[in-house]
Amino acid sequence: MKHKRLLIIGIISLATTTMNAQNKDHLDPKKPIEERISLLLKQMTLEEKVGQMNQYNGFWEVTGPSPKGGDAEVKYEHLRKGWVGSMLSVRGVKNVKAVQKIAVEESRLGIPLIIGFDVIHGYKTLSPIPLAEAASWDLEAIKKSAQVAADEASAAGINWTFGPMMDVARDARWGRVMEGSGEDPYLGSKIAVARVKGFQGETTADLAKVNTLASCAKHFAAYGFAEAGRDYNTVDISTSTLYNVVLPPFKAAKEAGVRTYMNSFNILNGIPATGNSFLQRTILKGDWKFDGFIVTDWASIREMKSHGFAKDAADASAKAVLAGADMDMESHYYVAELVKLVQSGQVKEALIDDAVRRILRVKFELGLFDNPYKYCDEVREQQVIGSKANNEAVLDMAKKSIVLLKNEKSLLPLKKSGQKIVLIGALASDKTSPLGSWRIASDDETAISVLEGMQAYKGNTLTYEKGAALTVGKTTFIDELVFNTTDKSGFEAAQNAAKNADVVVMVLGEHGFQSGEARSRTNLDLPGVQQELLEAVYKVNPNIVLVLNNGRPLALPWASEHVPAIVEAWQLGTQTGAAVAQVLYGDYNPSGKLPMSFPRNVGQCPIYYNNYNTGRPINAEKNVFWSHYSDVEKTPLYPFGFGLSYTTFDYKNLKVTPTASVKGGVVQVTVEVSNIGAYDGKEVVQLYIHDEVASLARPVLELKGFELVALKKGETKTISFQLTDKELGFYDNEGRYLVEAGTFKVRVGGSSDKGLEGRFELGF
C-alpha cells in the first residue's frame, strides 16, 4: 500500500514539472461558466479530477469516528498536489485563508477549495434549534434566521453550509429531530425553501455575493425513518412513503435552487443511500435534473463495508461513484481508489468528468475562481460576527419559536410588579445548554439564561434555586452525558423558596447535547431527578409555570395534568433568556404551533397526525377489537399544529367553492378568524384535507395550506386558500403523481385536532 502511494506521488511530481505552464482562460469572468469549466477540465490530470471529489475535515475531528491515517501532514501534502477539492470544519478567516492559499498558490492548477461547515442554526450568534424555528410557522423569520447564519459564516471564511436538514421525522426517540422541521412534508417543504433561499439568496446569481452560502439539502434520503428512532439504524419504507412523505422537501429545495445534496448513512430498503443509484441518479440527477453536486455523509462510502454492501475500499468507491455520489467526505476512499478504477476500466472517466463538472460549477457560481479569498476579509469578520443586528434577529426568531401548551389559573402572562417569583431548575441558570447541539462555532456560556432574562424585569422579587443538578461531569458534543439521578440535596431549599411564592417558574427538560446526532433516547421523560423535583415543588406550591427546554417532543403526562401553565421553549440559542422572559411577561404573545406531535408516552412512537385510518378506527362494537391501546388513549398529548395564545381566536363561516364537479380547477376555501380575547396576537390558520376514497389509502389529514395572521383584539380577517392539482394529488407505489376524482374533506382551524369542516367533490 505504501509502495503504491509512493508511485502515485512520483507520477504527480512528473506531471507538475511538465504541465505547469497551464492556460488561464478559465479565469476570464466574461466567459460563460460551462465554457470555463470545459477549459479547466481539459487541463486536469485524472488525479486532479479525482482530487476535486475529495473532501477532508479540518485538522481536528469533531463528528464521526476519526479517519484512519487522516493526519494533518498527509492532508497538507494532498492539498499541494491538488488532490483535495473541499475542506470542512476549517473556520475563521485566518485558517481558511491558510488552506485556501495552499490550494490556490501551491497546487499546479490553483483550483480553490469550497469550504463547508455545519451552519445548522447559526454560526456564532445562534438561532433556536431548527425544530424550534419550525414551530414559528413563520417563513419570513426562518429565512431571515438563515440569512443571519449565512452572513456570519461567510464572514468567517465559509462558503458552503451542510444545511438545511430536511428529514421528515415521526419518531421523537430519534435525537436528530431537533435539526429538522418535524413530521409534516408540506410544512417541511415550505421551511426547506425558506432556509435554502435564506442561505443562498433568491437565485443562483446571489451565490456570488459575499454574504451568501451554497446550501446542502440533507440527508438524501429517508434518514429520519431510522427504525425505533435509533440513529444510523435501518430504514425500510414503501415507495409511497418515500415519494409522498420523505421526498417533497428535497424536491421543493431543488425547485428553490439548492446547489448541493448530502446523502445519508442509512440503508433504504437494503441499499445504502450512498450507493443508491435509484435515489441519486434516477430521482435526483435524472427525474429532477439536478445539476449541482452530491456530497456523501461523513465516511459513508467507507460505511458501505459495514453495511455488508461493499467488500473493500475499491468496491465501495466504485459503487458510490456509479450510484452518483460526487464528493467523498472523509472516507479517503475516492482519492485512494478512483484513479485505479478508471485505469482498470471499472469506472468510465466520463463519470468522473461529470462529477467534477458539477463541483466546479458550484465553485464558479460562488465566484471562487474570480477571487478565492473573497470570504477572507478580516474586517468583515470583526464587524459581522456577533453584531447587534444579528442578535436582534435571533431574539425575534426565538420569541416566535415558543409554544404555549397550557395556561390555566391565569398564571400567564406574569404580572410585572408586586409579585414574589421563584425560579427553579439547573437549566434556568445554564448559559450553555440553550445553545443547542449544532453549535460548533459558538462559545460556551454565551447564551442569555432564563435567570438573566427574568432579572431584566425589575418590578418583582425574584429568587433563584437550582433544586438539583441536571448532569454530572463534562457535557460535550462527542461524549455520552451522565445525569444526576441521586443528588436531591437542593430539593429542600427549592421547596422552602417556593412555599411563599406567588408564582414558581420551573425550567426543566433536556440538556442541549441530549438531542442531535447519535442522541437517541428510549424515554421521553424529564431526565435525572427533575420529575421528582417538579412533584416536590408542586406539593408546596402548585402555582407552577413549567418552561420546557428540549430538542424533541417529550412525553409529560403528569405535568400536563397537574401543572397549570406549560411553555415549550426548546433550545432557543444565544438570546434564550430574553425571549423566554418577554413571553412570560407578556411583552410577546406566543404564537408558535407544534411541528411534531407530543406523545402521551414513548410507546406511542412513531406518532404523527397524518396517519392512516385503519379498518377499525373507532370502537363501533363496544369491545376491544378496534385499533387502540388498552392502557392509554391513542391520540397524542399535544397534537401537531397545536399551540395557545394569551388571546383567543374564533373561526366562523367556512366556505368551500365550488363544492362539486371541479375539473383541473381551483377550489377556493375561505374562513373568518376573529381575535375575541384581551390581547393582540397572531394565529397560524391551518388548512387540512382528507381524500376520502382513492386508489391508495390516503392519510386522515394532510396539511395543504397555512397562514400566519396578525389580529388586533376585536379584529376579524377573512383568510383564503386555494387548492389545485398540486395539493390534491399524491404519488402511487410506482412514484407516479395522480389526481383522482372523488370527495374531499376540508378542515380549517388553529390545530390539526379541531376546526371547521367542509367538503367538495373533484369530478372528471
Contact between 117 and 161 (Cβ < 8 Å)? yes
Nearest 10 degrees: CA dihedral of 91, 93, 96, 97?
-170
CB nearer to ligand BGC: give 47 or 167: 167
In the complex, minimum distance from the CB of residue 689 to ligand BGC, in angstroms, rounded to a whole number: 33
Q: How far apart are CA 747 and CA 654, in angstroms?
A: 9
Q: CB-wise, 218 or 400, nearer to ligand BGC?
A: 218
Size of the site for ligand BGC (CB under 6 A): 9
In the complex, least distance from residue 518 CB atom to ligand BGC, rounded to whole angstroms: 8
Give the active site residue among 297, 328, 396, 430.
297
Positions in 681-710 near ligand BGC (CB under 6 A):
none
Asked if 47 interacts with ligand BGC (CB under 6 A), we say: no
Q: Closer CB to ligand BGC, residue 261 or residue 760? A: 261
Distance CA 404, CA 586 (A): 12
Q: Does 303 bind ligand BGC (CB under 6 A)?
A: no
Minimum separation from the CB atom of position 282 to ligand BGC (A): 23
Q: Which position among 48, 133, 138, 297 is part of the footprint of ligand BGC (CB under 6 A)?
A: 297
Looking at beta carbons only, is 190 or 218 nearer to ligand BGC? 218
Nearest alpha carbon to residue 89 among 180, 161, 196: 161
Distance in angstroms (rounded) separating the CA atoms of residues 615 and 603: 21
Among 51, 58, 64, 467, binds ligand BGC (CB under 6 A): 64
Phi, psi of 754 (to 5 degrees): -160, 160
Smallest separation, CB 92 to ligand BGC (Å): 17
CB closer to ligand BGC out of 326 and 465 = 326
Site string for ligand BGC, 172-211 (x = CB under 6 A): ----------------------------------------
CB closer to ligand BGC out of 53 and 454: 53
What is the number of the residue whose Cβ is closest to ligand BGC? Answer: 162
Told to check if 296 binds ligand BGC by CB under 6 A, we report: no
The C-alpha atoms of residue 110 and residue 619 are separated, in whole angstroms, by 71
Shortest Å distance, C-beta 241 to ligand BGC = 21
Instruction: Rounding to the nearest 10 degrees, give the CA dihedral for residues 368, 374, 376, 381.
Output: -130
The C-alpha atoms of residue 316 and residue 421 are separated, in whole angstroms, by: 61
Contact 427, 549 (CB under 8 A): yes
Nearer to ligand BGC, 117 or 651 (CB): 117
Among positions 47, 48, 118, 167, the unique one binding ligand BGC when judged by CB under 6 A: 118
Nearer to ligand BGC among residue 298 and residue 731 (C-beta): 298
Q: Which of 395, 443, 393 is closest to 581 using CA atoms?
A: 395
x/- mask, ligand BGC, residues 461-490, rule CB under 6 A, reads ------------------------------
CB of 175 to ligand BGC, least distance (A): 11
Q: Which residue has the cell 429545495?
A: 253
Within 621-680, the residues that bind ligand BGC by CB under 6 A are none
Q: Where are the beta strands (DSSP E) in 592-644?
A: none
Instruction: Choose among 339, 325, 347: nearest CA to 44.
Output: 339
Nearest CB to ligand BGC, comparing residues 64 and 185: 64
Interface residue with ligand BGC among 52, 54, 63, 449 (CB under 6 A) is 63
Question: How many C-beta atoms surround the C-beta of residue 539 within 10 A?
Answer: 11
Quote the least distance from Cβ 50 to ligand BGC, whole Å: 21
680 included as an active-site residue: no
Q: How far is the CB of 652 from ligand BGC (least distance, A)?
A: 45
Torsion angle of the four alpha carbons 57, 60, 61, 67, in this order, in degrees rounded to the nearest 10? 70
Q: Is 184 helix (H, G, I), strand (E, B) or coil?
A: coil
Q: Which secondary-structure segment (H or E) carries 161?
A: strand 160-161
Which of 83, 162, 186, 760 is in the footprint of ligand BGC by CB under 6 A?
A: 162
DSSP-based helix, strand, coil % in the chain, nearest 5: 35, 20, 45
- Segment 508-527, which members bind ligand BGC (CB under 6 A)? 517
Please, are residues 572 and 136 in contact by the beta-carbon 8 Å criterion?
no
The answer to whether residue 298 forms part of the interface with ligand BGC (CB under 6 A) is yes
Query: Any contact of residue 218 with ligand BGC (CB under 6 A)?
Result: yes
* Residue 288 CA to its chain's centroid (Å): 22
Q: Could you tell me if 181 and 127 are in contact, meaning their C-beta atoms sit under 8 angstroms apart?
A: no
Nearer to ligand BGC, 55 or 212 (CB): 55
Kindly provide the b/e burial profile for residues 39-64, where b requires at least 16 CB atoms within 10 angstroms of the residue's own CB: bbbeebbbbbbbbbbbbbbbbeeebb
Question: Which residue's entry shows cell 485524472?
Answer: 46
Distance in Å, CB of 512 to ligand BGC, minimum: 17
CA distance 598 to 635: 10
Q: How far from 412 is each of 154, 560, 583, 680, CA to CA, in Å?
A: 41, 16, 9, 15
- Taking the complex as a whole, the smallest distance from the CB of residue 510 to ligand BGC amounts, in Å, to 20
Q: Which residues bind ligand BGC (CB under 6 A)?
A: 63-64, 88, 118, 162, 218, 297-298, 517
Active site residues: 297
